[in-house]
Structure 1
Amino acid sequence: MSGARLGRVLALAAASSLVLAACAGGGGGGTGGGDATTVKIGFMGDLTGENSAIVIPPYNGAKMAIDEYNAKNPKNKIELIKYDSQGKPDQATSLITKAVGTDKIVALIGPAFSGESKAIGGTLEENKIPSVSPSATNPGLAKNGWTYWHRVVANDDDQGPGIADFLIKAKSPKKAFVLSDDQEYSVGIAEAVTKTLKEKGVAVENDKFAKDASDYSSTVTKVKSANPDMIFFGGYYAQGGRLLKQLRDGGVNATFASGDGSLDQQLVSGAGATAAEGAVVGCPCNIPSSDVTGTLKTFFDNYKKSANADPAIYATEGYDAATAFIKAVEAGNTTSDAINNFLKTVSFEGVSKPIKFKANGEPENNDIFVYQVKGGVLKLLGPSASAKLEG
């Protein structure tokens, strides 16, 4: 079936869904009214694949927010339906057909990754399904003219320069080597870091390899020959851990840095504690630890009880993305259009940051935080503007 025809089929299915919801007292025009309604909201991302550790925390955060809301026994309850894309754009494309055409979701938390976001953004737009991603950071996503798309995380045009500026301040490099695999996110953040380093007078060499490659010997040889002062890898921890191990095994000892896709303990386990020691990871996320206070402490305790784990990357962003939709439904908006209109003006103090969207769906707040592997554990150093490397 052609993309255009598929879009029309989904649009008709979504329209039929809204008519049925209205007939059941679902709130003509999204205003509530009539009998109680159950609003279906999807969550899409890699929940079982090789980079699922980046997506399970925001899913847990979103689920916790919705469980807390439903526990209040509101008039309009929310059903969270999960769609495991394994981070693959083709799976996301298949899943969104089911989500819109069969499950009749009215909104989507996600997709979690940039590649799948790009793959289904047009379908969401055509079917007028509002989405809020907790973790997709490719800058191009905000340049498609989509009016139903949003994210609560800073993009790589913020993250890349934030990490690059931090590394320049911390290490004063003369030469850098920027690497990536061929995934949408990986290429985007690598380009952003390369651009900033060059603008600041750092000589940069680049290399790219296939996502599914396991032997990086050709890349290691290139990096060793270049003898850079620092290395930046644009990509996810599954590839980053293997790459870092092979770089260190190959005698490359330059400072290794990466972005939010590598912010998981599996970067350390994949590389080995010795190889990973001192590695730097930037992220537009502030992960609460056990020694925080106030709102973050409440979130930490509730998340640990709900998920049986400490909060990890994008747990707070998942909670905030869900909360944006919760606030819309709480205000009586139960149709996709009404929810999307509500998101245009929503403004609240989220757990991760103040949540407010620009006209293009980008968040108003774009802070970048820096982490470093110390003693085999990723440690938060603070905001990129003030953080200092340890050792």
Structure 2
Amino acid sequence: MKTTVTVMAALALSTAGAQTTIKLASLAPLSGGQSAIGTQARNGIQLAVTEYQPQFKKLGFTLQFVPFDDQADPATGTAAARKIAADRQVLGVVGALNSGVTIPVSAVLSPSRVAMVSSASTANNVTDRGLSNMNRIVARDDAQGPAGAQFLTNTLKAKKIYILNDKTAYGEGLANEVEKALKANRTQVVANEGTEEKNDFSSIIAKIKLQRPDAIYFGGIYNQVGVFLKQLREAGVTTPVVGGDGLDSSELLKIAGKGGENVYFTTAAAPVEALPAAKTFAANYQKTFKQPAQGFAVFGYDAAKVVLQGILNAAKANGNKAPTRQQVESAIRGGTFSGLLSGRVNFNSVGDRQAATLYVMKVGGGKVKLSTTLPVKLSKR
């Protein structure tokens, strides 16, 4: 009997001292053609988790990071989302990166009230569905598209534009917003062509040569657009090419080679050099991962900080006990988050960041550099 009491007492002491595990999950392409930007985002999230672990420990929580590889594929992403929903220790998700993945994933996680903060998804429908669990810290396509159109007409003085898109929710949505803004400004759009081609753009380039546009807009991702640029320049076409934040990767230069000239892209993910507050982060990133930080790392870090601070705020409001998923969801949507590299974050009623900045980057001479910035304000609806 004495032995039983001793064992029970030891178990009670062990339980009293145990830490409650709280998990942060992420969704991003960690393999395949878009792994460069997905890995940047994951690494930024990892740095935020490491930074926040002591704060969680003080409240009796063990904070764990669980990254999922969605391969930029909706089916793979939703399979991961089902695993996330089933793991009750996961109280928040950073991601997904691609709008085409974020939209179905958020729908899967919505019934379980798992809060999401995307660091990169720009399609309007990410938040227009009004899901209470879905938020993002980047500007929408209906902000980025007009910004691209404005750059085409005001800066490049283009009067005749050929638009391409990659037939994804991201690329097609962005291209359509550009087309809409251009036509509203009475600028001629000679085509808005969707293509899933990855290797041989000769037929498209032939059509571009016939049309002789002043500029080309491509709503797509760097791994596809890089090949297009290489073949376009090899065909002797020097027309400026503009795109969205899908071009925001150092891999674009590697793929395009000498074709990476006279190229511009808008991005919601600020280049590190444009954010004075990111200097320490960039040094820490370089030291930890042995490579320079890019914009997707910065915004992965910021999105993770929003989720983690939301979980802490919900825990404190819950008497320093582990919060429910619904409490975290409410804390994120209704919170104001300061001390981020990209500035203060608070969300409107559908999860859009109320104020954001778009950056126009110029690619040329083997480098990517900041061209200009465009502030964006969203409705407080």
Q: TM-score range by the shorter chain?
A: 0.7 to 0.9
TM-score, length-normalised on structure 2? Answer: 0.87
Q: Tell me, yes or no, if structure 1 residue 339 matches structure 2 residue 328.
A: yes
Deviation at residue 102 of structure 1 after TM alignment: 4.7
Match of 1:149 in 2: 134
- Picking from 319, 334, 357, the partner of 1:367 is 357
Match of 1:234 in 2: 219
Match of 2:348 in 1: 358
- Picking from 240, 261, 266, the partner of 1:282 is 266
Q: Tell me, yes or no, if structure 1 residue 131 matches structure 2 residue 116.
A: yes
Match of 1:196 in 2: 181
Deviation at residue 103 of structure 1 after TM alignment: 6.9
Deviation at residue 366 of structure 1 after TM alignment: 2.3
Say which is worse superposed, 76-85 or 223-232, in terms of deviation: 76-85
Give the distance between the partners of 1:140 and 1:248, measured in 2 at CA.
35
Q: How does 1:203-352 map to 2 (within 5 A)?
A: 203-273=188-258, 275-289=259-273, 293=276, 295-331=277-313, 332=315, 334-349=323-338, 350-352=340-342
Deviations 1:43-71 (A, max 9, x none): 00101110122221121111101111114
Specify the structure having the higher radius of gyration (Cα).
Answer: 2
Give the distance between the partners of 1:156 and 1:250, measured in 2 at CA.
31
CA contact (8 A) 1:44 1:85 kept: yes
Say which is worse superposed, 216-225 or 305-314, in terms of deviation: 305-314
TM-score, length-normalised on structure 1? Answer: 0.85
Give the distance between the partners of 2:285 and 2:300, measured in 1 at CA.
11
Change beyond 3 A, Cα 1:364–1:292 = closer
Give the distance between the partners of 1:361 and 1:268, measured in 2 at CA.
34
Say which is worse superposed, 73-82 or 147-156, in terms of deviation: 73-82
Q: Tell me, yes or no, if structure 1 residue 164 matches structure 2 residue 149.
A: yes
Match of 2:29 in 1: 46
SS at match of 1:381: strand
Give the distance between the partners of 1:315 and 1:47, measured in 2 at CA.
13
SS at match of 1:204: strand
Give the distance between the partners of 2:148 and 2:251, measured in 1 at CA.
20
Deviations 1:367-390 (A, max 9, x none): 1101111321111123047xxxxx
CA contact (8 A) 1:353 1:365 kept: no
Deviation at residue 238 of structure 1 after TM alignment: 0.4
Give the distance between the partners of 1:151 and 1:98, measured in 2 at CA.
22
Q: Tell me, yes or no, if structure 1 residue 62 matches structure 2 residue 45.
A: yes
Match of 1:92 in 2: 77
Say which is worse superposed, 219-228 or 344-353, in terms of deviation: 344-353
Give the distance between the partners of 1:303 and 1:384, measured in 2 at CA.
27
Deviations 1:117-173 (A, max 9, x none): 122221111121110111011111111121110011111111111121122111211
Give the distance between the partners of 2:189 and 2:202, measured in 1 at CA.
20
Deviation at residue 189 of structure 1 after TM alignment: 0.6
Aligned-residue Cα RMSD (Å) equals: 2.0
Aligned residues: 351
Match of 1:15 in 2: none
Change beyond 3 A, Cα 1:362–1:203 = same
Q: Which amino acid aligns with 1:58?
A: A
Match of 2:5 in 1: none
SS at match of 2:334: coil
Give the distance between the partners of 2:20 and 2:137, measured in 1 at CA.
27
SS at match of 1:131: strand
Deviation at residue 104 of structure 1 after TM alignment: 4.6
Q: Tell me, yes or no, if structure 1 residue 187 matches structure 2 residue 176.
A: no
Deviation at residue 309 of structure 1 after TM alignment: 1.8
Give the distance between the partners of 1:362 and 1:299, measured in 2 at CA.
25
Q: Which amino acid aligns with 1:224?
A: K
CA contact (8 A) 1:224 1:251 kept: no
Give the distance between the partners of 2:368 and 2:97, measured in 1 at CA.
22
SS at match of 1:206: strand
CA contact (8 A) 2:145 2:181 kept: yes
